Amino acid sequence: AMKQNPEKVRRIREWLAAEGMAPDRMPEAAFGDSPSDAEMLRLARRPLLVNPHPRLQALFPEAEVFRWR
C-alpha cells in the first residue's frame, strides 16, 4: 500500500486559512516526487512531477514531468 502524508495537505490548508483564503482552495501548482505526495498533488490544478517514482507517475499520467539531475 502507498503511504500518504496527510501532514503536507494539513499544512497547506492551514496556510490558506491563515492567509484568509478558503481552506479548500486549490493551489495553482504543486511539485512532488514520491507516492506520499499524491494527496498533496491532487489538491493542485497543475501537478508537476520531479524525477517521480514510477508509482506516482502512474497515478498522474497527464502531469508534466521534470527530469532533474
Looking at the predicted structure, is the pLDDT value of residue 64 above 80? yes
pLDDT tens figures, 6-43? 788 888 888 888 988 876 667 788 999 999 999 889 88
As a whole number of angstroms, the distance between CA 11 and CA 61 comes to: 26
* Helices assigned H by DSSP within 1-69: 6-18, 38-43, 54-59
Residue 58's pLDDT is 97
pLDDT of residue 17: 86
Q: What is the mean pLDDT of residues 47-63?
A: 96
pLDDT at 28: 85
